[in-house]
Amino acid sequence: MEPIEVLAYSIDEEGKTIGLGTSYGFVVYGFEKKDPYVRFKKILGHGIGLISVYKSSNIVAYVGGGKNPYSKLNDVEVWDDRTSSIVFKKKFESDICGISLKKNFFIVALKNVMYVYKLSTGFCTTILTSPNLDGIFAYYEKTELLLTLSEESGCINMYCLKSGSPEIETIQTNIKCFKYPISNISIDPSGKFAVVFCIKTQYFHFIDLQTKQIYYKISNQGTTIKKQPFILLSPAILVAVTDGCATFYDILKNKKNKFYIMKLDKAAPPAIAFLTTWQQGGPKLHIIDKNGKVNIYEVLVNPDLEVSTTNILTKALL
């Protein structure tokens, strides 16, 4: 029997519910307490390569993956743990690259197209994109804002999904970010700005979601980022987590950005990283490695925007 490993992850917008797809099924955890705990799990005997959870509900969507996938990579299922039943199942024309289960919508990304399903009616909207094997998009639930890759490489599109309307609204298309393919799109917790990162240029570009303009740029100051990083945001800092380090940047538009690098164990690269800001004290950085061990760090930012971190919990989840 192969050791159990983390293959996929999903985080709700507040970081209180975490879903892990593993080489043998999936587990959903509650993180709203100091000590993470299991909400529910399902042993499938096969790998889950994509997963999406919605807040503290009993609903989880997933796609097979890993060396021994649970299902074909173009099949998606939605499981209701309350009734112990599959409530939705669909086969797509090609492999699924990304999924996101929300209150009113179910979003599915394939290589060159995205499908947005309205859960109340089943109505589906199609959005064409540039090649998107990493399933890149970002959704902000409070305003129902969806950011996707556009058909033109290096550009993004902006949509309002509108749960009360039969069709989605196109706000703006082809917002130019880079000359090269985009590697990440993230929306900050306040919904005021988005950050777009490009591995080729090693730059983070900040987009004002009201003006739809790039207003700020930061170059990567940590080790060269060679694969899609985790981009984490709080009101004062941006954190880029890679296999070797977590790099913290102040984002308050000083003339010269201060940054802080926290080295990570290269022998246990992160399978998931997320930042929470709702607890008492400073923001909390959570890093889970492929073996399911979580390290939680308290992040302190002093008045001079200098960052320090303290490990407050280490725990094996799997």
Quote the CA–CA distance of 149 and 4 in Å, as a whole number: 33
pLDDT 10s per residue in the chain (318 long)?
678 999 999 999 888 999 999 999 999 999 988 889 999 999 999 999 999 999 888 999 999 999 999 999 999 999 999 999 999 999 999 999 999 999 999 999 999 999 999 998 889 999 999 999 999 999 999 999 999 999 999 999 999 998 888 788 999 999 999 999 999 999 999 999 999 999 999 999 999 999 999 999 999 988 899 999 999 998 889 999 999 899 999 887 665 667 899 999 988 999 999 998 777 777 899 999 999 999 999 998 887 778 899 999 999 999
What tokens does 138 get? 């970002």
| DSSP one-letter code for 69 | B
Q: End-to-end distance of the chain based on CA atoms, in angstroms?
A: 15
Q: What angle do CA 288, 249, 133 make, to 5 degrees?
A: 55
The pLDDT score that the predictor gives to residue 256 is: 63
How many helices (H) and strands (E) the chain has is answered by: 0, 28
**Predicted pLDDT of residue 152:** 97
CB burial readout 138-154, b (16+ within 10 A) else e? bbbbeebbbbbbbeeeb
pLDDT value at residue 302: 82
φ, ψ of residue 42 in degrees (nearest 5):
-140, 120
Give residue 1's pLDDT. Answer: 67
Cβ atoms of residues 2 and 24 within 8 Å:
no
Amino acid, res. 71: S
Please give the pLDDT value at position 3.
84
- Whole-number pLDDT of residue 210: 95
pTM of the model: 0.94
Sequence spans of domains, the chain: 230-318
pLDDT of residue 255: 55
Q: Report d(CA 126, CA 93) in Å as an integer.
A: 13
Strand partners of residue 70: none
pLDDT of residue 135: 98
Q: Is 98 helix (H, G, I), strand (E, B) or coil?
A: strand
pLDDT value of residue 278: 73
Whole-number Å distance between alpha carbons of 288 and 290: 7
Q: Radius of gyration of the chain from Cα atoms? A: 19
Residue 130 and residue 124: Cα distance in Å, rounded? 20
Report the pLDDT value the prediction gives residue 253, as an integer from 0 to 100: 63
For 313, list phi and psi in degrees, rounded to 5.
-160, 135
Which CA distances in Å does 145 have to 9, 60, 105?
22, 22, 12
In contact, 149 and 130? CB cutoff 8 Å: yes
pLDDT at 306: 81
